Chains A and B, each alone.
Chain A
């Protein structure tokens, strides 16, 4: 069980840094098709920001900000976005993950539909990876024993 740090320097620096880390992660996800990066790396950086919040502010504070249900919901939502976009392309008559078929729904030409489709896929991957990283670290650091179970 990780308890909150007593050091005000560590807590303040972490509180200042976490939004900037998350902003950088969003940049990595959104700019992933033009530069190095993408859904996986951005999702890992998003997860790392939540892990930083956990090891500085403790388990209770983290649970208050990011409940366990939200982590599970985000992971499932990422998988749903990924497979949903793929299956939509399949239903519209193309191959699985053939984004150019999305031009019928989005009312743009196929080249723009491809760019938007890959953005949706990367967002899905980022959500799933962030939830997986958070979930693995919570389970290892608590040993699978939650404070609710100990009472």
Chain B
């Protein structure tokens, strides 16, 4: 356990999570959510759960992002609220 690494990663996770729900452009929100998934993947690896990290990287960052992009392309890119 490297406490400095933990704090940096957790800081980035919180920043990505807050940015993903406040940004107005939905495509940017999807991209930030992908970055959030990668930081969570680093966090899982740091905690020793390599299998969970693998699933997070492939499903959360890979397939989840591309499904959200397909959904954004079929609907609208701007939020109304």
Contact = CB atoms under 8 A, between A and B. Distances in A.
B63 interface: yes
B62 A44 contact: yes
A69 interface: no
Q: How large is the interface on B (under 10, 10 to 19, 20 to 34, 35 or more residues)?
A: 10 to 19
Interface stretch (B14-22, B29-37, B47-55): B47-55
B28 interface: no
Interface residues of A, number: 18
A140 B54 contact: no
Contacts of A48: 58, 62-63, 66
A36 B66 contact: no
B37 to A, nearest CB: 13
Interface in A12-41: 28, 36-38, 40-41
A41 B54 contact: yes
For the complex, would chain A's binding face be called helix, strand, loop or mixed by DSSP majority?
helix
A117 to B, nearest CB: 20
B67 interface: yes
A36 B74 contact: no
B51 A137 contact: no
A74 B10 CA distance: 40
Contacts of A38: 51
Contact of A140 (B50, B59, B62, B70): B70
B76 to A, nearest CB: 14
B62 A137 contact: no
B23 interface: no
A45 interface: yes
6 contacts: A36-B54, A40-B55, A48-B63, A133-B63, A137-B63, A143-B74
Interface of A: 28, 36-38, 40-41, 44-45, 47-48, 51, 55, 133, 136-137, 140-141, 143
